[in-house]
Amino acid sequence: MSAHRKYKEQALEACRGLAACGLGPGIGGHVSVRVPGKELFYTNAFEKCFEEMRAEDILLLDFEGNVLESNRAVSLGLTFHHGIYKQRPDVGAIVHSHGFWLTAQAAFGRPLRTFNNLATFFYERTCISPNDDFASIGPALRQGDVAIIIPWHGAITVGKDIAEAAALHVTMDYAARLDVTLPAEAPVIPHDMCLELRALVERADYLALTWELVRRKGRDAFDGQRVVPRLAA
């Protein structure tokens, strides 16, 4: 366990940071972090929300979905985590939430419209899955996709590590807010410009910087017992 401790800590940091960003008030979200070189990953227990997570709530699982070293329950919808890890060796972490704006976006059953430079992270790299089980997600998920929208449910982001997966999730929530609130006739960014803007924000190391911001927010909002997020603007 001690050899894997940093991955457990990363999962806890992600839960608290996502909670501080307003993505963790209800039961049902889950974060996971793969243990490199092992068919193991850490994820959060089911019965608490992100705002309530403590170290003892982060559990070790194998790639068959068995909880190791604990008798705590995990989400019944957790199968896509180990399914994705098996299918996509490049994925090191996964985030799923029912954030308000992400869930509103999911009601449209389509990828995000690109209304700002950050939305380009998801341009042509988002799939739609009819359900949240891996039998549905597996065939829909393409190599290179970073996001999954589950209609009328929520969203999933994947990354090479937790920094990328969590930063993408927070960014997607912001982009979904733009999509949901802007009118149908609002013009989207043209294809060539999407690719240029994505390259620019990648060169600016936006996702790494956003992960550090998410971590800071999580630390600042944790009162010793739980995360108390500030009201979103």
DSSP letter for each residue of 192-212:
HHHHHHHHHHHHTTHHHHHHH
Give the residue among 106, 211, 215, 99 at the shortest CA–CA distance from 160.
Answer: 211
* Cβ-contact 1, 208 below 8 angstroms: no
- Residue 215 domain flag: yes
Going 76 to 217 to 229 to 100, the CA torsion angle's sign is: negative
Per-residue pLDDT tens digits for 14-56: 999 999 999 988 888 999 999 999 999 999 999 999 999 999 9
Going 212 to 217 to 218 to 222, the CA torsion angle's sign is: positive
Confidence at residue 1, expressed as pLDDT on a 0 to 100 scale: 47
- Residue 231 domain flag: no
> What total of structural domains would you count in the chain?
1
- Residue 230 domain flag: no
Confidence at residue 77, expressed as pLDDT on a 0 to 100 scale: 82
Confidence at residue 69, expressed as pLDDT on a 0 to 100 scale: 84
Confidence at residue 163, expressed as pLDDT on a 0 to 100 scale: 98
**Does an H or E element contain 162, and which?**
helix 162-181
- Residue 233 domain flag: no
Q: ∠183-187-190 over CA atoms, to 5°?
A: 145
- Residue 19 domain flag: yes
Query: Residue 181 belongs to a domain with what CATH number?
Result: 3.40.225.10
Confidence at residue 3, expressed as pLDDT on a 0 to 100 scale: 64
* Cβ-contact 7, 24 below 8 angstroms: no
Q: What are phi and psi of 226, to 5 degrees?
A: -160, 170
Based on its alpha-carbon atoms, the radius of gyration of the chain, rounded to whole angstroms, reads 17
pLDDT < 70 stretches in the chain: 1-3, 231-233
- Residue 228 domain flag: no
State which residues form the domain around 121: 2-221
* Cβ-contact 30, 75 below 8 angstroms: yes
- Residue 120 domain flag: yes
* Cβ-contact 19, 221 below 8 angstroms: yes
Tell me the longest C-alpha to C-alpha distance in the chain: 54
Q: ∠153-100-83 over CA atoms, to 5°?
A: 40
Confidence at residue 4, expressed as pLDDT on a 0 to 100 scale: 81
How are beta strands 67-68 and 58-62 bridged, if at all?
antiparallel
- Residue 227 domain flag: no
